[in-house]
A and B are shown apart, each in its own frame.
Chain A
């Protein structure tokens, strides 16, 4: 139908021709190799079809051919920005299947590592989010500080990104000399830096204009899509597995669960998702200070390592809070030394699935903002 053609029943709803745009797989703001098929009406997005799988490395298939211990390096490579969290939750899932206890000291070391990793991952998230919306400088600040955490990891286990540190029943190395002092020094240095990020980026007028009120995710939609982590909490749902389904020794620490409050617009907008991460770093610092103070100094981290990891027949679904949300492992064992089935429920996979829902009706340039605020890691969605 042309515009000049008059129609009695649907006048005024003339639709412009739909245009399909391809974004990715190689695109700086897709944070990896994600391909988006964007259906647009002019500049307005009507639907997005994400195409996954460019980074699929057959994680679940490999698991069936490897022993339980050998899977741990593979979990490193799934969410490569939060490898410690992946190691931790996988190890705990196998321990639950085997009914294995770990020592007090190991629990503390694990929590310390995972919380440091959470800060590192959130630093990456907020830095690159700034980069996505055009603020280049804050990125250099967050990366400078993330580097210090990676140095601590390197000092502990020799690796900076893929650690294979948390093993079933223990950890690979004890904490090195002076680690507690160095970690405390880092925390003392890091806490004031959060104010600096806030001055640089969080409360920057241009940044707020780009992110406030954009891509609003209502709480019921978030739950229906099984969103988790900062994405869910930014929508006002007070849900954190560390507090609500406590595992490891998280019930010993005093920390708050941060939720979005719509300070710069509506609850659940991009700014909220960003700011929840900033505030969560403070909570991680709180946990770290308590853990460093309470940690027992004596103890062998290899004490409870099983000679052979061979869980009895059965299955388990174990979940924990990774920096991106609910990371779950479904592991089925047939009593042999290799898992019968491993399924990884990755938080970024579920969070990405609601992307099309919240992008509808936004301008093309906001798509980059919304995608950045979800904070996906393609290694984890594709596995």
Chain B
């Protein structure tokens, strides 16, 4: 199936789930409120059967843009791929967790939360994944500023030699 077929299949089952997108895009954009239902359809629909979540990445469009979560899905049965993007506001963005649909999403969502700070509602255990639990801020945000101190240790600002 092609991207246009996927678009048709999703809009057939969930009429208002797709965000308006350009035809040239290589992905489908889903509005956050509907993402939970759409994800279930993507996994269980006979023509879609996306049973394998290859990759989940957090994404920041820039200081003036929005945050996004990018899902790269794959179907082991029908051998097809699809990229889904869900965009959310920079402040207080919420996106439904899909950890109960694809268990693989569990750790990936924790990592995205760790790095970008968006909330995955319904996640069983949303804690930081890679950074220490008392870390302040979400470092992959484009407007992130490196803290002066971490637990009383001065953070090196001199970047000579590696930049």
* Contact assessment for B76 and A226 in the assembled complex, using a CB-CB cutoff below 8 Å: no
Q: A332-B59, A341-B57, A343-B55 are in contact. List 16 more A-B contacts (CB 8 A).
A: A52-B129, A53-B128, A58-B139, A60-B115, A61-B140, A65-B163, A224-B51, A224-B102, A317-B72, A317-B83, A330-B57, A341-B59, A343-B57, A350-B104, A354-B103, A382-B130
| Contacting residues of chain B (92-143) with chain A, CB-CB under 8 angstroms | 102-104, 106-107, 115, 128-132, 139-140
Q: Give the chain A neighbours of B72 by CB distance below 8 A.
A: 317, 328, 330, 345
Q: Quick check: is B79 within 8 A (CB to CB) of the other chain?
A: yes
With A60-B140, A237-B76, A330-B70 as given contacts, are A317 and B59 in contact (CB-CB < 8 Å)?
Answer: no
Nearest residue, chain A, Cβ from B57? A343
A–B complex contacts, Cβ < 8 Å, 15 sampled: A53-B131, A53-B132, A224-B51, A224-B104, A226-B52, A226-B102, A319-B55, A330-B55, A330-B57, A330-B72, A341-B57, A343-B57, A345-B72, A353-B104, A353-B106
Bound-state CA distance A223–B75 (Å) is 10
Q: Give the chain A neighbours of B59 by CB distance below 8 A.
A: 332, 341
CB-CB nearest 5 A-B residue pairs: A226-B104, A343-B57, A345-B55, A53-B130, A56-B130
Interface string of A316-337 (1 = CB under 8 A from B): 0101000000101010100000
Nearest residue, chain B, Cβ from A224? B103
A-to-B contact residues, CB < 8 Å: 52-53, 56, 58, 60-61, 65, 221, 223-226, 237, 239, 244, 315, 317, 319, 326, 328, 330, 332, 341, 343, 345, 349-350, 353-354, 357, 382-383
Q: Give the chain A neighbours of B54 by CB distance below 8 A.
A: 226, 317, 319, 326, 328, 345
Q: Give the chain B neighbours of A60 by CB distance below 8 A.
A: 115, 140
Q: Quick check: is B53 within 8 A (CB to CB) of the other chain?
A: yes
Size band of the interface chain B makes with A: 20 to 34
Main secondary structure of the interface of A (DSSP, over half): mixed
Bound-state CA distance A226–B79 (Å) is 15
Q: Give the chain B neighbours of A353 by CB distance below 8 A.
A: 103-104, 106-107
Bound-state CA distance A374–B79 (Å) is 25
| Contacting residues of chain B (51-74) with chain A, CB-CB under 8 angstroms | 51-55, 57-60, 70, 72
